[in-house]
Amino acid sequence: MTDQKTDLLGLTPEELAAFLKELGEPGYRAGQIFGWLHGKLAASFDEMHNLPGPLRVRLQETCEIGGVSIEKRLASSIDGTVKYLYGATGGDFVEGALMRHRHGNSLCISSQVGCRMACAFCASALGGLSRNLTPGEMLGQVYASARDLASGGTEIPDKIGSVVLMGIGEPLDNFENVCRFLELLSHPEGFGLSLRRVSLSTCGLVDGIRKLAKKNYPLTLSISLHATNDEARSRIMPVNRKHNLADLMAACRDYFAKTGRRISFEYCLICGENDSPADAQALAALLKGQNCHLNLIPLNSVSERDFARPDPAGVRGFQTKLEQLGVSVTLRRELGADIAAACGQLRRRANDNK
Ligand code: SAH
């Protein structure tokens, strides 16, 4: 059965060596296989032509490589954004999106099957959490899309320049797996993506932020803020009832003090909820003194949710007000408008069709 197979993608070179030693293989095999998996992005053991045939057969029978495949690919005809529906072990689906920027391609991947954070505006939260993704399944998303790009599946052979953990799930709710994923993704003998090219977004799990600070990874931490006072934030983000804004902002200040890495705050603009001039004022006051950047995201409406985005003039007005108040702020460019059901919607549709 597939779920009993050992996923070699989630193993460090040292663990791979120990695993292969058990099979009676010489020490150098681990380096060869790690190189095939994380450097050449092999999708099958058949490709590993410098391994002895019987070993390849044995690995094929007892092991897997991430267990993630691309089930569906939707490409935007407007800007080349690609949305991926990935299939994982056990018939689960998650989502990713490849966005094309002037400075390169960035791939957004999922960290969990579903999510238990229950944010009121988010499609990924509908249906709750099914399970955590393993490190191999997170790498599997990156490598499947990297292979897709390299094979010209998206017109121009191309590569992934950065990875963002902003798809389905709450990465800090799957802390250990996410850390292992990051360490394998950036391993110099493997894919070797610098963690400077990785962003991790959290809804504000304070304990997780503090644990992440101790890791001192050079990644960019994004905080989904979305409101400026506890009453409003708890209404749309239940996590705030456990970790209030004062605790969250203190954890952010400590994160910066420890890592020296500027935090990026995300603020999703929801019409009538958090987009008034008074909200802009309160937001500027909240961020005052933080070494940070603010990213405004006009809400993607989700059919099951009763929220709307402000009109373009409202969005512009909110941004201008913040600029006048001295906040470093950008507006997230909308990509893939013709394909981008808000994150989590593709998976919902796939599940409905099961
Ligand atoms: N759980 C993490 C990462 C996943 S969501 C987090 O909360 O940060 C990635 C970002 O998309 C978050 O800022 C999230 O609040 C935002 N988001 C979720 N649903 C959205 C929607 N319908 N429109 C716009 N942004 C949304």
Average pLDDT, the chain: 93
Q: Is the pTM of this model over 0.85?
A: yes
**CB-CB neighbours of 272 under 10 Å:** 10
What pLDDT, on a 0 to 100 scale, did the predictor assign at position 157? Answer: 55
Residue 342 vs residues 25, 123, 239, 303, 332: alpha-carbon distances, Å: 47, 7, 21, 9, 14
Residue closest via CA to ligand 1's atom 15 equals 224
Question: Among 122, 221, 309, which residue has the most ligand 1 atoms within 8 Å of its CB, making it the best to mutate?
Answer: 122
What pLDDT, on a 0 to 100 scale, did the predictor assign at position 103? Answer: 83
Distance 115 CA to ligand 1 centre (A): 11
What pLDDT, on a 0 to 100 scale, did the predictor assign at position 1? Answer: 45
Distance 124 CA to ligand 1 centre (A): 9
What pLDDT, on a 0 to 100 scale, did the predictor assign at position 79? Answer: 81
Question: Among 206, 266, 335, which residue has the most ligand 1 atoms within 8 Å of its CB, making it the best to mutate?
Answer: 266
Residue closest via CA to ligand 1's atom 4 equals 166
Distance 122 CA to ligand 1 centre (A): 6
Q: Which atom of ligand 1 is nearest to the CA of 226?
A: 15
State the chain's maximal CA–CA distance in angstroms. Answer: 69
Nearest Cα to Cα of residue 284 among 339, 334, 323, 341: 323
What pLDDT, on a 0 to 100 scale, did the predictor assign at position 344? Answer: 67
Q: Catalytic site residues?
A: 95, 343
Residue closest via CA to ligand 1's atom 8 equals 202
Residues enclosing ligand 1, CB less than 6 A? Answer: 117, 119, 121-122, 166, 170, 201-203, 224, 266, 268, 297, 299-300, 302, 342
Distance 325 CA to ligand 1 centre (A): 25
Q: Which atom of ligand 1 is nearest to the CA of 266?
A: 13
The residues of the chain scoring below 50 in pLDDT are 1-2
Residue closest via CA to ligand 1's atom 17 equals 122
Q: Is the dihedral of CA 265, 281, 229, 311 positive or negative?
A: negative
β-bridge pairing 63-64 and 69-75: unpaired
What pLDDT, on a 0 to 100 scale, did the predictor assign at position 2? Answer: 45
What pLDDT, on a 0 to 100 scale, did the predictor assign at position 101? Answer: 84
